[in-house]
């Protein structure tokens, strides 16, 4: 089995596709973390061995492979940084486990593992990233954590890269955090955390272009996929979501530095018993930006709390005063071929800003029913302009 996995990885690494690395013909140099002193007993600190193996792989000209074999490796926070002298494949077959204690993380460290400034990275192999987040969730809920919880893995400033067939469990905060990447594909992922785990988004994307998430299973305590400001050309397809908070664009307009969102497609996906289905959310704050050209299409929902929602009055904090309307301009949004069941009576809720009404919102071929089937679901609209096409159930309020 291991030999077949290695062969598959090598073929993917050479052939590319969806941004995968493409080194020259010939076998890539391999750097096994055990050869650099990794113990894999789940207790010994293997951080130095991993960093040494990465340094050797990154320095190798013409393409290389860092190998993480079967076993459980214990890592303190590490950065795997480039630029490198060629494409690097990280073949992870084993389990990599994080420190359970937040005191093990420097105050300025926002992630457990980070890949930075790498072109043509391939992370694959079927291995598991274990964030060991249980104790952190307890202190987050009690609001007595010694510091902000870190993400499990961050991909920062990557280009032309692929993350494939990786499992992430029990992250302390976000499982995978994507920042300032260009042409990054994530596919075949399995991301899991309990429904009650706070802030454990499956994948969060910020300030990136050309990010694709495909053919994955995500069940967490927060958004399955969250798409923040500064993104363009994001495509989510074939994702099974639940539990969690669904697929979200936002929250936007929370600070003066937020950037526009343009070109997001979520399609061919399924949600089961999630708090939200497809959602756009913006803060009630005076920061102007735009969110446009958004498509949510071919989506099936089962017992979803808020199937279709635009919330421009988003404020998760207590004592929100609702004095400053959102200045995020939402336009050209299409909800098409969405069907299934709602666990609340309001299945379509388009609550837009008094200052910047939503424009060109389209509802096309929607069929949502109340889960108990004793009452009909309804729509609710405010400060929104748009149109409907085809059969729309519940009756459109546009």
**In contact, 82 and 129? CB cutoff 8 Å:** no
CA distance 75 to 209: 30
Residue 27: predicted pLDDT: 67
* Beta pairing partners, 169: 130, 192
Residue 374: predicted pLDDT: 78
Residue 21: predicted pLDDT: 41
Which residues touch 60 (CB under 8 Å, ≥6 apart)? 28, 29, 31, 84, 85, 86
Residue 23: predicted pLDDT: 40
In this predicted model, what pLDDT tens digit does every residue of 311-323 receive, in sequence order?
999 987 776 777 7
Query: What are the φ and ψ backbone dihedral angles of 134, each rounded to 5 degrees?
Result: -55, -50
How high is the mean pLDDT in each 10-residue block of the chain (398 residues)?
42 42 60 98 98 98 97 98 98 98 94 98 98 97 95 98 98 98 98 98 98 98 98 98 98 94 98 98 95 98 98 83 90 98 97 97 97 89 98 96
Give CA angle at 147 (54, 195), nearest 5°: 85
Residue 2: predicted pLDDT: 43
Q: Catalytic residue numbers?
A: 222, 245
Whose CA is closest to 231, among 211, 251, 245, 216? 211
CA distance 10 to 278: 37
CA distances from 237 to 10, 44, 209, 241, 382 (A): 25, 39, 16, 11, 30
The domains found in the chain, sorted by start residue, are 1-165 (2.160.20.10), 223-398 (2.160.20.10)
What pTM value is reported for the model? 0.92
Residue 373: predicted pLDDT: 75
CA distance 197 to 193: 7
* Beta pairing partners, 59: none
């Amino acid at each position: 089995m291991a030999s077949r996995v290695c062969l598959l990885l090598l073929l993917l690494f050479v052939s590319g596709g969806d941004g995968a690395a493409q080194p020259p013909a010939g076998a890539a140099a391999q750097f096994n973390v055990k050869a650099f002193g990794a113990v894999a007993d789940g207790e010994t600190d293997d951080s130095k061995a991993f960093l040494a193996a990465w340094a050797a792989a990154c320095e190798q000209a013409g393409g290389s492979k860092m190998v993480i074999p079967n076993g459980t490796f214990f890592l303190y926070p590490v950065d795997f940084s480039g630029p490198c002298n060629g494409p690097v494949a990280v073949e992870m077959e084993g389990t990599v486990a994080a420190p359970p204690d937040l005191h093990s993380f420097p105050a300025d460290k926002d992630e457990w593992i980070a890949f930075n400034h790498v072109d043509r990275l391939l992370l694959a192999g079927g291995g598991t990233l274990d964030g060991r987040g249980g104790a952190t969730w307890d202190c987050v809920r009690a609001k007595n954590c010694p510091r902000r919880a870190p993400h499990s893995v961050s991909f920062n400033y990557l280009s032309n890269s692929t993350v494939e067939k990786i499992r992430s469990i029990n992250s302390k905060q976000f499982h995978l955090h994507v920042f300032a990447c260009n042409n990054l594909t994530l596919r075949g992922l399995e991301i899991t955390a309990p429904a009650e785990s706070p802030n454990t988004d499956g994948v969060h994307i910020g300030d990136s272009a050309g990010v694709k998430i495909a053919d994955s299973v995500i069940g967490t305590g927060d958004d399955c996929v969250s798409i923040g400001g500064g993104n363009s050309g994001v495509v989510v397809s074939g994702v099974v979501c639940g539990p969690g908070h669904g697929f979200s664009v936002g929250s936007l307009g929370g600070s003066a530095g937020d950037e526009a969102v343009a070109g997001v497609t979520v399609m061919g996906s399924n949600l089961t018993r999630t708090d939200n289905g497809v959602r756009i959310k913006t803060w009630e704050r005076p920061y102007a930006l735009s969110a446009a050209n958004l498509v949510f299409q071919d989506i099936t929902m089962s017992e979803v709390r808020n199937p279709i929602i635009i919330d421009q009055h988003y404020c998760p904090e207590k004592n929100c005063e609702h004095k400053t309307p959102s200045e995020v301009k939402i336009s050209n949004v299409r909800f098409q071929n969405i069907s299934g069941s709602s666990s609340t009576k309001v299945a379509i809720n388009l609550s837009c800003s008094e200052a910047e009404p939503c424009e060109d919102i389209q509802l096309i071929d929607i069929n949502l029913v109340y889960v108990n089937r004793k009452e009909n679901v309804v729509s609710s609209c405010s400060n929104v302009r748009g149109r409907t096409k085809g059969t729309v159930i519940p009756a459109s309020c546009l």
